[in-house]
């Protein structure tokens, strides 16, 4: 049995009624977890269920899992510097034809343009530095924002095939 010293919190944000309009037809699941790598499995379990609800195929779900895992690892390791007193918030928002994932940390932020290219010859054999590359390859949209209160928000979107 799993026991958490600082358990994750789950909050269902919105449950649409069957007659909601397309403009408001979305659902969000919010996870708020301590900056602990053990929490990755919780995020992955929720994502797997969300992918089933959305209707993503197994291969797409796998690549989504890689992108989300990399983003959460970055939030814990680089954003929050593995400080367990800091939180990582993960939002899964189901839209009519897509899934939006936001990963928020409480770190100092970073400069995305300063991240080295993992495909550059001098970086090919390095065992790190591929997380953002994977996110960009596996998701349809990836963007970053840096709230004035601090931290980084990574927003990723994956659409259902037409």
Express each pLDDT in 86-139 by its tens digit. Answer: 999 999 999 989 999 999 999 998 888 888 888 888 888 887 778 899 999 999
Per the CB < 8 A criterion, the answer to whether 31 and 44 are in contact is: no
Please state, in angstroms and rounded to a whole number, the distance separating the CA atoms of residues 2 and 70.
23
* Alpha-carbon gap, residue 75 to 8, rounded angstroms: 16
Of residues 99, 104, 94, 105, the one with CA closest to residue 138: 99
pLDDT score at 4: 53
State how beta strands 98-104 and 87-94 pair: antiparallel
Report how far residue 91's alpha carbon sits from residue 12's, in angstroms, rounded to the nearest whole number: 10
pLDDT attached to residue 110: 85
* CA distances for 84 relative to 5, 17, 32, 38, angstroms: 11, 38, 12, 11
Lowest mean pLDDT among 31-45, 46-60, 127-141: 127-141
Structure tokens at 147: 């709230």
Higher-pLDDT residue of 143, 118: 143
pLDDT of 60 above 90: yes
Contacts for 136 with CB less than 8 Å, ≥ 6 apart: 142
Q: What residues does 153 pair with on adjacent strands?
A: 104, 145
Q: What pLDDT does residue 5 have? A: 57
**What percent of the chain stands above pLDDT 70?**
84
Token couple for 64: 């989504």
Q: Which CATH number fits domain 9-13+26-159: 3.30.565.10, 3.40.50.300, 3.30.70.20, 3.40.50.150?
A: 3.30.565.10
Q: What is the pTM of this model?
A: 0.82
φ, ψ (nearest 5 deg) of residue 105:
-120, 180
pLDDT at 96: 87
């Amino acid at each position: 049995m799993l026991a958490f010293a600082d358990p994750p919190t789950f909050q269902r944000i919105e449950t649409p009624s069957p007659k909601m309009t397309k403009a408001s037809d979305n659902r969000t699941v919010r996870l708020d977890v301590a900056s602990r790598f053990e929490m990755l499995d919780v995020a992955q379990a929720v994502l797997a269920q969300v992918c089933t609800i959305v209707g993503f195929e197994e291969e797409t779900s796998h690549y989504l899992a890689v992108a989300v895992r990399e983003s959460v690892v970055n939030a814990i390791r680089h954003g929050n510097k593995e400080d367990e007193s800091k939180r990582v918030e993960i939002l899964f928002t189901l839209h009519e034809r897509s899934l939006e994932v936001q990963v928020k940390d409480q770190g100092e932020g970073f400069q995305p343009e300063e991240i080295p290219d993992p495909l550059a010859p001098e970086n090919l054999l390095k065992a790190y530095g591929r997380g953002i590359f994977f996110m960009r390859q596996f998701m349809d949209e990836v963007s970053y924002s840096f709230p004035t209160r601090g931290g980084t928000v990574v927003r990723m979107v994956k659409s259902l095939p037409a």
